[in-house]
Amino acid sequence: MLSFSELKPGTTFVLDGEPYIVLEYNFLRMQQRRPVAQTKIKNLRNGKIVQRTFMQSDSVEEAEIEREPVTFIYENRGEYWFHKKGSPKDRFQLSDDLISEAKNFLKPNMEVMANKFGEDVIRIEIPIKMDLKVKEAAPAVKGNTVQGGTKEVILETGMKLNVPMFVNEGDIVRVNTETGTYVERVEKA
């Protein structure tokens, strides 16, 4: 059991039978009142973020989140298909809302981590930085720096990304998957 003072950012716990992760934690002690912990927590099943205050007498159960390597196969009409690593026949499907932002970075035959709570997959974990190929890019026009020297390109996964003017079609770029931003050009076409 976790006490209210142990609910630091990144801690996973079970509340009302649902897994949550602490995003923000603020310890408050006002004059002549009992201390409380104000938190912002995210439901790991549906992604909803709520604010919750925990009192000194509150305690919660620590969540058992299991990590398992899986391989992404393909996407069809908002359904994302995976199989367990080393077992191509053991396939399962996840919905678009469960995948969330990770869908912008998934490539066929890519290995990712599946976070499981009990028997249910609750989240797909992708690497923080990924190298992706530029599928479409408008040519850079000399003197076209009114927009800060960036242009929009389409990556091999279909994601649109703002990159510097020197990036061309066929280049490999490194992307930060947490912020969805360009990091650097890895390979020139």
Q: Let me know if the fold of 2-62 is the same as that of 129-187.
A: no
Query: ∠69-72-78 over CA atoms, to 5°?
Result: 130
175 neighbors 181 (Cβ within 8 angstroms): yes
Summarize pLDDT for 30-70 with one digit per residue, the tens.
Answer: 777 888 889 999 888 877 889 999 888 888 999 888 989 99
Summarize pLDDT for 3-24 with one digit per residue, the tens.
Answer: 888 888 888 899 988 899 898 9
* CA 105, 108, 109, 113 torsion-angle sign: positive
Segments making up each domain of the chain, as ranges: 2-62, 65-125, 129-187
**CATH class label, 65-125:** mainly beta
pLDDT at 188: 83
pLDDT at 131: 92
Summarize pLDDT for 84-129 with one digit per residue, the tens.
Answer: 988 888 899 988 877 878 888 998 899 999 988 888 888 888 898 9
Nearest CA among 62, 178, 70, 65 for reference residue 124: 70
pLDDT at 147: 56
Q: What b/e string do you get for 79-88 counting C-beta neighbours within 10 Å, with b at 16 or more? A: ebebeeeeee
pTM, two decimal places: 0.72
Which segment of 29-38, 71-80, 137-146, 180-189 scores lowest on mean pLDDT?
Answer: 137-146
DSSP H or E run through 99: helix 96-99
**Residue range 150-178: average pLDDT?**
90
Nearest CA among 81, 118, 117 for reference residue 99: 81
- How do beta strands 181-187 and 172-176 pair? antiparallel
Is the pLDDT assigned to residue 144 strictly greater than 60? no
Structure tokens at 82: 């995976």
Q: Going by C-beta distance under 8 Å and a sequence separation of 6 or more, which residues neighbour residue 146?
A: none
Q: What is the CATH number of domain 129-187?
A: 2.40.50.140
pLDDT band at 153 (very low <50, low <70, confident <90, very high): very high
Amino acid at 62: E
CATH number of this structure's domain 2-62, picked from the four choices 3.40.50.850, 2.30.30.30, 3.40.50.300, 2.160.10.10: 2.30.30.30
